[in-house]
Structure 1
Amino acid sequence: MNNKTEKKNQRGEFSFIEAVKSVTADINSRARDILAKRFGFGEKKGLTLSQIGDEYGITRERVRQIIQESLNKVKKKAKTDELFQKAEEIARFTVESEYGIIAKEELKRNVLAEQEKEYNFVDFIVHCSEELSEIALKDKIREAVVLNDFDLSRWEHLHSVAGEILKKKNEAIKTGHFCKEFSQESEIDFAEDEFLSYLRVSESIQRNVFDKWGLREWREISPKGTRQKAYLVMKEIGRPLHFREVADLIYKLGLNKKEAHPQTVHNELIKDDKFVLVGRGIYALKEWGYRSGTVKDVIENILKSKQNPVHRDEIVKEVLSVRDVKKATVIINLNNFFEKRDSRLYALKKNNK
C-alpha cells in the first residue's frame, strides 16, 4: 500500500472542523470566537491581537490572555477528547510518513486535499498537540511541523552538506544526480526518500519545475520576469522555440500564475541579445552557437570563413543548422546575393570580399 492510499485510509471522511468544535466545546462563546478569529477558522488567515481587541473593545494584552487561558483548557481536554486524538493521529501519521518533518502547507494539502476551508483547523490541532511541534529557522527551514522527538541535528547535517554540493557545482542539479552526489559526500547514511523529504522543507535549497535543485536565489530556481523565465524554458527544452510556444510553456509549467501574453514574451526576447531570431517568430539561445543576422548574413559568414568556393549543399546544411527556414529560402539568397561558380559552387561577390 503506498503512502497516499494509507493517508486516505487514515483520514476517511474525518472532519478536522468537528474535532476543533469538540475540543473547544467547554470554552465560553466569546473566548471560542476569539480563538476562531486568531486562528482564522474558515478564513485564509487569522486576525492580529490588535484587530481582535479593536473588535471587542479590549486591549491587545487582554486578547492574548484570553487566548492563552483558552488554549490551556483545550490542551487539557485534548488528552481525552476522541475527535481531537483522531485528528492528531492523522496529522502525526502524515508527519511520520515524511520522516518526521513536513512543511505546514504540505501537511494540510496531504490530509485535506482541496478542502482549504479546513486548513487553519489543522494548524490549531498541531498547535495544541503534545506530539507535534511547529518549527521555522530563518534561511533554513520554512514553516514546518515536526514530531517532538525529531532529530534536528540530523536535518542540519543533511542541509549543510547539500548546500555545499550546490555551491561547489554552481548550477542546478537533477534529483537523481543530487542524491548520488550527496551519498558520496555525507558522513551519515540517508535513504533517498528521507533526503528529498528533508529538502522539501528547506528555505534556501529548492527544486524548480524541471526537477532540478539549487539555491533559492539562482535564476534557474526562482526566475524573475519574463526574460529569465523564457531563458529557463528554452535552456531546459534544448531547442529553438516559437515565442508563442515559450509563452505557453511559461504558464503550463507554473512559472506564471496567469497566462503569459505571447506578444509580451516576443518583445522581451527581441530586447535581449541572449536570444537569437532564427526563423519566423522562432528564437534560439546565443549560447548554443547561434548568431544574430539574416540568412544572407549567415551565408556571408560561412563563405568568409572558407578559403575556396563552397558547394551549395554544404552551405544549405550549415544555414539550416542555425536558422529555422526552408531550403528554398537559402537557395534564393544564394542566387540573389552571391557569385555562382561551376558545379553549384558559391563564393562572395568581389565587392563583398
Structure 2
Amino acid sequence: MKKAIEKSVRSDVPEPMPDILGTVSQAQQNEILRTFDPQAAVAEFVEKIPERERRVLQGRYGLVGGQPLTLEEIGRQFHLTRERIRQIETAAIKMLRGLAAPANFNKISDLLFQFIEDRGNAVRQEHLISSLLGERDSPSAKQNVLFILHCGPQFTFQKESLKYYESWCLAGFDQDMLDEVVDRAIEILTKHEKIIGLADLCSELRRQTEREELATAREEVIESYLMLSRTIGRNPFGDFGLASWTQVKPRDVGDKAFLVLAHLGKPEHYSKITDLINKQGFGSRIAHSESVHNELIKDDRFVLVGRGIYGLEEWGYKPGVVADIISQVIKGAGKPLTREEIVSGVLKQRLVKRNTVIVGLSNKNKFRKTADNRYENV
C-alpha cells in the first residue's frame, strides 16, 4: 500500500469515469441497500459494449455464475491466446470507463466509495462485501460488486500481504496511520493477554498516540484498520485479540463453551451453553449437549456450581462438593464461623439451596461445633 493512493486499478486504462462521487446520505444509503442488485446494474452496463468484449468480462470476472475463468479457459472458448484475451479485457474496461454508466451502477459505486471513505479510506475486501450484501451474499453478487470496484479508477485494490488482508483503498489513505494502529494494538493486546472490546481498545490507542489523526479518529476508522491486520482477530462477540488466541478463534467445544460463558458473564446450565454455542454459529458442526457436558466435566476452566450448572474457574469458583466448599470457607476465614456466615460464603460459590449447606455442616467427620455455637474444620 502507498501513503497516498491516486492511481487507478489498472494503470493501462487510466481514463476516468464520470464524476459520481457526491456524498451519499444515510437515508440514501438505506434506500440503495434496500434495492441493492449489483448483478442487474452490471448486466445493464455491459450491454453497452460488443458481445465478444461483454462475454470476456463476464467470464473473467464471474459475472454470471460467480466463478471467474482464467485467461486460458476463456481463450479456448474463443480460440484465442491468453495474451489476446488480456488485451480484449483491458480494452473492454477502457471502453466502459468512456461510457455513461446506468444510474443504478453509479448509485452502487457511490455507496462503495462512501463506505470506504467513512472507514479511513481502507476496508478489508471481505468486510466490504459482507457488510453491503448481508444475507443476499452469493458468489455471483460478490463478483459483480468486485467488478464495480474494478471499473472505478477511484478504487485501488491491495493484494494480501504477510501483514494485511486484501483490501480496497481510496486516494488519501495513510499507510503510516494504519501501521501505527495495528502495531500499537498488538502491543496492547499482548500486554493485557486477554480480549478487549472495541471501545476500550480505541480509548487505549488514542491515549497512547502522539498522532493527532489517530487521537481524534472515529471508532469506525480504527475498527476498519484493525480488521485489515492478519495478526489481530475478532471473535463472534465483537471483541479483539490476537488471531492465534482461542478466545478469538476457538478450536474445540471447550474453547467455544468458554467463550460463550465468558461473554454471558454468569453460570449457566450445560444445555443452555450448548444452545448458545450453536446460536453463535462457530462453524458448520452442530454442538450436542452430551459432548458439551463431557467437555465441561474434564476441562479445569469450568467448575460445577449447581445441578448441571457450570461457571468459570477464573471467576473465583473452586472445585469440589458442598462439604469441600464449606471447609474452604472456614479455612479462608481463619477462625470458626457462624452457620449464617458459612451459608453466605458457600452460596457465593455454589447455586444450591440453603438446606443443602446446613446438611453438609452436619458431617461430624469434617466439622465440629464450638462452645459459642460456631463451626470449625475437624
Q: TM-score range by the shorter chain?
A: 0.7 to 0.9
Matches within 5 A, 1:148-167: 148-167=171-190
Tell me what 2:231 maps to: 204
**Does the CA-based 8 Å contact 2:75-2:82 persist in structure 1?**
no
TM-score under structure 2 normalisation?
0.78
Matches within 5 A, 1:124-139: 124-139=147-162
For 2:83 and 2:42, the matched residues in 1 are separated by 20
Tell me what 1:71 maps to: 90
1:101 to 114, 122, 125: 122
**Does the CA-based 8 Å contact 1:276-1:286 persist in structure 2?**
yes
Tell me what 1:40 maps to: 62
**Does the CA-based 8 Å contact 2:368-2:376 persist in structure 1?**
yes
1:180 to 196, 199, 203: 203
Asked if 1:192 corresponds to 2:218, the answer is: yes
Tell me what 1:24 maps to: 46
Helix, strand or coil for the counterpart of 1:141? coil
Which amino acid is the alignment partner of residue 192 of structure 1? R
- Measured against aligned partners, the alpha-carbon deviations of 1:283-318 in whole angstroms (never above 9, x if no partner) come to 122233322221122234445567765422222222
For 1:332 and 1:80, the matched residues in 2 are separated by 86
Gaps of 5+ in 2: 1-22
Tell me what 1:213 maps to: 240
Which amino acid is the alignment partner of residue 140 of structure 1? K
Higher relative contact order (CA 8 A, sep 6+): 2
- CA RMSD of superposed structures (Å): 3.2
Gaps of 5+ in 1: none
For the structure 1 residues 155 and 246, does the alpha-carbon distance in structure 2 shift closer, same or farther, using more than 3 Å as the test? same
Matches within 5 A, 1:265-344: 265-303=292-330, 309-337=336-364, 338-340=367-369, 344=373
Which amino acid is the alignment partner of residue 95 of structure 1? I
- Measured against aligned partners, the alpha-carbon deviations of 1:136-166 in whole angstroms (never above 9, x if no partner) come to 3424332221114433233223322333332
TM-score under structure 1 normalisation?
0.83
For the structure 1 residues 328 and 5, does the alpha-carbon distance in structure 2 shift closer, same or farther, using more than 3 Å as the test? same
Q: Percent identity?
A: 33
Shift of 1:175: 2.0
For 2:183 and 2:333, the matched residues in 1 are separated by 53
Helix, strand or coil for the counterpart of 1:73? helix
**More divergent stretch after superposition (90-99 vs 218-227):** 90-99
More helix by share: 1
Question: How many positions carry a matched residue from both structures?
Answer: 346
For the structure 1 residues 2 and 326, does the alpha-carbon distance in structure 2 shift closer, same or farther, using more than 3 Å as the test? farther
For 2:26 and 2:228, the matched residues in 1 are separated by 19
Shift of 1:330: 1.6
Shift of 1:225: 1.2
Which amino acid is the alignment partner of residue 270 of structure 2? F
